[in-house]
Structure 1
Amino acid sequence: MSKRVCKEDQIQLIMEYQFVEHIDDIWDCIEVKCVSDTMVSWAIQSSDFVEVLHSEPLRHKIKEKCKNLDERYK
């Protein structure tokens, strides 16, 4: 049996998130729960709109992935 899932539903299946606080006119803080690899991909895909604040190991994974992409596309 196959099930059609809209994009928003797909995101909800992969990650759970909740609003934490309104920071200013541009930024809100949200808490996201998902597996690390999904978070890395989502953060890079959404990099114009998000910054991962915690945890340092996750931030390091994102930095390393970006460095690898930079090398690939030189």
Structure 2
Amino acid sequence: METKRTDKTTLFKGIKTLVFALLSLFIGPILMTLALGDKENSLYIPLLIVACLICAAAVFLIFKGIRTIMDSMFKKN
């Protein structure tokens, strides 16, 4: 009888994705604060757009990382 084991390569892939999500969770709001702090700057709109995209990417990476970790633990090969 075969026992179910965690696929370690997939687990590390999910952890790596969550590390990138954690970095994005810090970088996105910092850029948004910088953009909203100086509205007269010529880079206001592009910096705000980039900050919003980074925040959205952080949310996506969190879900992707958690799903990858769950697949490594519970998916049959």
Query: Which has a greater percent of strand?
Result: 1
Q: TM-score surpassing 0.5?
A: no
Query: Which has a greater percent of helix?
Result: 2
Larger radius of gyration: 2
TM-score by length of 2: 0.31
TM-score by length of 1: 0.32
